[in-house]
Structure 1
Amino acid sequence: MTKRIKMIVPVPLSEEARQAMARQLPPTLLRSDIAVEFVGAGRVLSLADSYYDMAIMELAVIEAGIRAEEEGFNAVCINTVSDSGLAALRSRLNIPVVAPGQAAFHLACTLGQRFSVLTMWPQWFPLYRKTLREYGLEARLASIRAIDVRPDTEALLQGKEEMVFGRLLEQGRQAIEEDGADVLILGSTTMHQSHAYLAEHLPVPVLNPGQIAYKLCETLFDLGLSHSKHAYPAPETLKDRAFAQDGEGV
């Protein structure tokens, strides 16, 4: 029986952008017994450039994930390294809920002693520091390095490869040589197009967080595991209407 994963991107997407995001999972990575559906969330475009935007993304992901079990999905995979809505959806749902930041950070700790995050712009630094603090992994962080290029949720890195890939490579080398990183993590699932280039040109593992989160879903399916409801207890009363537009319920 085919298992279904709801892959939630925390912003509304055009069909073209949705397809671009979905290409982070090439056919060679996918299994015939697992179907992945990428969906956009929310009603406004957010760049996660502030705590205000981070709260908007949190609400968007929760709203998009609430009905996942009713819709027949077997897992929710949040497609943002901010891990927006992770704890709330684990509380609300019984099916596995996975996020790329948590998955990639913990995998990095199994592959090396210290890791660095390579990202697009410094405005994203607070979201990494927030999750790393929550996961207790601050001591394993070597650095966060940005190339100071404004992200584009629609085009991703298309048309910017020559400029962006070179800058990311330079920052990756500095993270290794100057900061002591022995694993590197892409700071956004929107950066997935740079992964193959960086993995080829850098001497340490380079982690593509969206792919890692998907593979973690596969592992949980195969082992029959999900998150602990002792760690993420269900609410006494469901209040899903709080996350719907105009309070209309979902």
Structure 2
Amino acid sequence: MDTGKRRILHVLPVAVPPHAWQGFAEQFPAGILDGDTEVEFTAPARGPANMIDSDYERTISDVAVLAAVESVLAAAENAERDFAAIVVNSMSDSGLLALRSRVAIPVVGAGQASLTLASCLGSRIGVVTMWRPWHALYSSAAAAAGISERLVSVRDIGIRPDAEELLGDRETVYPRLLDACSKAIQEDGADVLILGSTTMHPAHQFLAEQLDVPLINPGVAAQQLAQQLVRARLTHSRRAHPAPARPDSGLLAALTART
């Protein structure tokens, strides 16, 4: 049904069931979404089961994200008309470059968006995250953004994350996150911080109110960048991201079909 609003599609890179998508939708507090914009979520039918914790899962998630979007393209009469932009709702930026090659509408990744924003707000960037296997995501994203030398701190709290339950036991998690933020600032010299996952958004307000440096919520950064690109009628360069000669949605569907 056409609501007359600009629809932005958020793609999760892991096989999160639909009943858990509302937890991700809650990362956009009042005032974040433009009045003429609405957000929809999707996730791969198959892919990493919960989190992206290794090179193996990062590769699978790239394919899974592309397949999830191909499914939306196949179901819509004209997906690039129906959707104004696509957001990869993860610091992993899974499938980001492939999606830019596949579609002409803007495609934004939470990792790239939050690091770019951080570079505008400070000179020494820190990331506070859940556990060590995610550290590689941030060095890769910083290198892709050309700001590796400005990523001075990555700290974790040693708790395995959960894409469905998000932060789980907040009485345990929140104080540990605050301690990690404080150490990133005081010991590592970070002057701007990023939450290391879009699944960590419930802690943003609690932490931001107690810190004296900016704290970036990556999902919000990506959403607002997507909105800005749509308003400005800008999208990625076809010279930088050439379209595929022969998209193979059939192969992607076969690889990711439910069994």
**TM bracket (short chain):** over 0.9
State the partner residue of 1:243: 252
Whether 2:125 is the aligned partner of 1:122: answer no
State the partner residue of 2:176: 167
State the partner residue of 1:141: 151
Q: Report the more deviating stretch, 209-218 or 65-74.
A: 65-74
Return the alpha-carbon distance in structure 1 between the equivalents of residues 83 and 231 of structure 2. 16
Map 1:164-243 to 2 at 5 A: 164-243=173-252
Say which of 100, 103, 107 aligns to 2:110.
Answer: 100
Return the alpha-carbon distance in structure 1 between the equivalents of residues 55 and 151 of structure 2. 21
Q: What is the percentage of aligned positions where both structures have the same residue?
A: 44
Return the alpha-carbon distance in structure 1 between the equivalents of residues 121 and 56 of structure 2. 34
Deviation at 1:38, TM superposition (A): 1.2
State the partner residue of 1:74: 84
Structure 2 vs 1, CA of residues 22 and 247 (structure 1 numbering), >3 Å: closer, same or farther? closer
Letter in 2 for 1:149: I
Structure 2 vs 1, CA of residues 244 and 91 (structure 1 numbering), >3 Å: closer, same or farther? same
Q: Normalising by structure 1, report the TM-score.
A: 0.94
Deviation at 1:27, TM superposition (A): 3.6
Say which of 50, 55, 59 aligns to 2:59.
Answer: 55
Whether 2:11 is the aligned partner of 1:8: answer yes
Q: Is the 8 A contact 2:46 2:256 kept in 1?
A: no
Q: Is the 8 A contact 1:118 1:171 kept in 2?
A: yes
Whether 2:36 is the aligned partner of 1:33: answer yes
Deviation at 1:236, TM superposition (A): 1.9
Q: Is the 8 A contact 2:91 2:196 kept in 1?
A: yes
Return the alpha-carbon distance in structure 1 between the equivalents of residues 58 and 237 of structure 2. 25
Deviation at 1:153, TM superposition (A): 1.1
Deviation at 1:114, TM superposition (A): 0.9
Q: Is the 8 A contact 2:127 2:153 kept in 1?
A: yes
Letter in 2 for 1:8: V
Return the alpha-carbon distance in structure 1 between the equivalents of residues 203 and 66 of structure 2. 29
Deviation at 1:246, TM superposition (A): 4.7
1:72-129 superposed Cα distances (whole Å, 9 cap, x missing partner): 2111111000000000000110000001100000110010101101000001111222
Q: Match of 1:74, SS? A: strand
Across the two proteins, how many residue pairs are aligned to each other?
A: 247
What RMSD in Å do the two structures reach over aligned CA positions?
1.6
Q: Match of 1:36, SS? A: strand
State the partner residue of 1:157: 167
